[in-house]
Amino acid sequence: MFAQFFGSYLLSKNAVSPEQLTAAITKLADTHIKLGTLAMHKGYMTASEVDEVCFLQTREDKRFGEIALERNYLFEDQLEDLLKSQNPDYLLLGQTLVDSGVISNQELEALMVGYQADNELEGAPSEDANQEETQTLIMNFFEAADEPLSDEALMYMNLIFNNLVRFIGEDFTPLAPVACESYDTNYCVTQCISGPVNLTSGIDMEEDVAIAFASRYAKMEFHVFDEYVKASLEDFLNLHNGLFSVNMSNAYSVEIALDPPMHCDEPTYKMNKGSFVIPVIYPFGTIYLLLAM
Amino acid sequence: MGKENVKILVGDDSILARKQLKDTILKYAEGAEFIEASNGQEAVDLYHQEKPDIVFLDIVMPVKDGIAAVKEIIKDDASALIVIVSSVGTQVQLKSAIEAGAKDFIQKPIRPDQIKNVLAVHLK
């Protein structure tokens, strides 16, 4: 979950614009992590050493590791460690932004340190960071936007981000939640949850984004905005809310009731105070998560 | 009853969920004939008309939910073979499905091996 929230961290620090971030996310699939980025992240090399080695690579036909060893910027054992280490997934996004010229290696170095400190990540977080760390990350994400969450809402959001990873793909970046009482819809599907927890959740996106979203969800190639695409949005929401009810039942022994998901055909969706919308950027477009209290 | 030429009622309000379930079933029951319902009431009506060999029902559906549909079907035909397929797999839902008369419960998202097992157990 670290790659996803690193993007919103960069936005909150005004290090990148939403357009630059979106462009970098779109490129992610074709990007591979570089040794220099990893070395910087581990604190083995400074940003200027990395820049120097990259520059030397343009003049000498040698690998990054070879040059870094020759210049004593890296020890053998450090190089070995880098080559076999688990890459924290947010590094790739940072590196893509450097490659695109949006930020410098120096800026990335400082942002990585800040991100880790703010989220109390110990050293290099592994990809399968535990649930607790993810919860902290999501809590910080909402607190940074001044939208503190109840325990249930936190569990809800944690699960929806996990379900996006599981059913749609991990290549997304959520933008800060926006408090919202009236939302202009594109194609919007909502579902009411009632019982000990009362809320309406929804997902909204433009039709062409929905086609790509549905193709990923259903693992089928859709080309037109048809009933299968619409059903995919409803299914995703219904599946997510079903899994939420299972979690609520297991964690708090409470049963919540679900209404069938519905298409909202109003151009504007009205929500109560305390409701919010989270834009989530995927390479194929932006989806909007709605949580109405 | 063999696995071929079985008549299967699939009740789910999602056209996608019905397609995915039918595609999965066809891998293990070639030649199966399908009847589709998009809510609980349609499932009850079609059960009476068509007398399918096995029924797969979602829980969260408009008009009449899956549990209520199971109760109505079982009231008239205690031997009805009904399998609940739902994302709401809480202990309470599971219990009420079984008490209503469902023979099995599959948690969504469906995995092909679960469908295979259900067909193997119930359609001997």
The string of pLDDT tens digits covering residues A76-108 is: 999 888 887 766 677 888 888 898 888 998 888
pLDDT surpasses 90 at B66: yes
Is B90 in contact with A218 (Cβ distance < 8 A)? no
Question: Span B68-72, mean pLDDT?
Answer: 96
Q: For residue A42, give both structure tokens.
A: 């581990």
Whether residue B34 is predicted with pLDDT greater than 90 in this model: the reply is yes
Least confident of A21-25, B16-20, B59-63: A21-25
All residues of chain A having their beta carbon less than 8 Å from the beta carbon of residue B16 are 218, 228, 231-232, 235
Quote the pLDDT of residue A130.
59
Q: Which residues contact B82 (CB under 8 A, 6 or more apart)?
A: B54, B55, B56, B57, B70, B73, B74, B101, B102, B103
CB contacts under 8 A, A 162-201 vs B, are 167
Mutation for testing the A interface, residue in B13, B16, B36 having most A CBs under 10 Å: B16
What are the two backbone dihedrals, phi and then psi, of residue A2, each rounded to the nearest 5 degrees? -75, -35
Domain coordinates in residue numbering, chain B: 7-122
User: Considering only alpha carbons, which residue of chain B is nearest residue A249?
Assistant: B90
Quick one: angle between helices A2-12 and A90-99, nearest 10? Answer: 50
**Which residues in chain A have their CB less than 8 angstroms from residue B17's CB?**
231, 235
- Nearest Cβ partner of B60 from A218, A227, A260? A260
A276-282 and A173-174: which strand pairing?
antiparallel
Q: What is the mean pLDDT of residues A229-237?
A: 96
Residue B3, pLDDT score: 53
Question: What residues does each domain of chain A span?
Answer: 2-131, 148-292
Instruction: Please report, for residues A28, A203, A292, B62, B74, the alpha-carbon distance to residue A173 in angstroms, rounded to integers and kept in the order given.
Output: 12, 16, 21, 34, 48
- pLDDT of A129 > 70? The answer is no
Angle ∠(A239,A244,A247) on CA atoms, nearest 5? 130
User: Residue A230 — pLDDT band, cuts 50, 70, 90?
Assistant: very high
| A193 pLDDT more than 70 | yes
pLDDT for the residue A131: 65
A234 touches chain B (CB under 8 A): yes
pTM over 0.90: no
Chain B closest-CA separation from residue A176 CA (Å): 29
Set of chain A residues whose Cβ sits within 8 Å of the Cβ of B109: 167, 239
Q: What's the gap between Cα A98 and its chain centre?
A: 19
Q: Which amino acid is at B73?
A: I
Q: In this structure, which topology does domain B7-122 adopt according to CATH?
A: Rossmann fold (3.40.50)
- On whether any CB of chain B is under 8 Å from the CB of A235, the answer is yes
Q: Which of B85, B87, B95 to mutate to test the interface with A (most CBs of A within 10 A)?
A: B87
What DSSP element (H or E) covers A7? helix A2-12
**Cα distance between residue A107 and residue A97, in whole Å:** 10
User: Buried b vs exposed e over B42-81: b needs ≥16 C-beta within 10 Å?
Assistant: bbbebbeeeebbbbbbbbbbeebbbbbbbbbbeeeeeebb
* CATH fourth-level superfamily of A148-292: CheC-like (3.40.1550.10)
Considering only alpha carbons, which residue of chain A is nearest residue B110?
A239
**Is pLDDT above 70 for A125?**
no
Among A57-71, A85-99, A156-170, B3-17, the range scoring the smallest mean pLDDT is: A85-99
Confidence band of A212 (pLDDT split at 50, 70, 90): very high
Q: B112 to chain A, minimum CA–CA distance in Å?
A: 14
Comparing CB atoms, the residue among A227, A234, A246 nearest residue B88 is A246
Could B88 and A234 be called an inter-chain contact, meaning their C-beta atoms sit closer than 8 Å?
Answer: no
To which residue do tokens 């609940």 refer? B84
A74 contacts A38 by C-beta, under 8 angstroms: no
pLDDT band at A206 (very low <50, low <70, confident <90, very high): very high
Interchain pair B14, A242: CB under 8 A: no
Considering only CB atoms, which chain A residues are within 8 Å of B94?
none
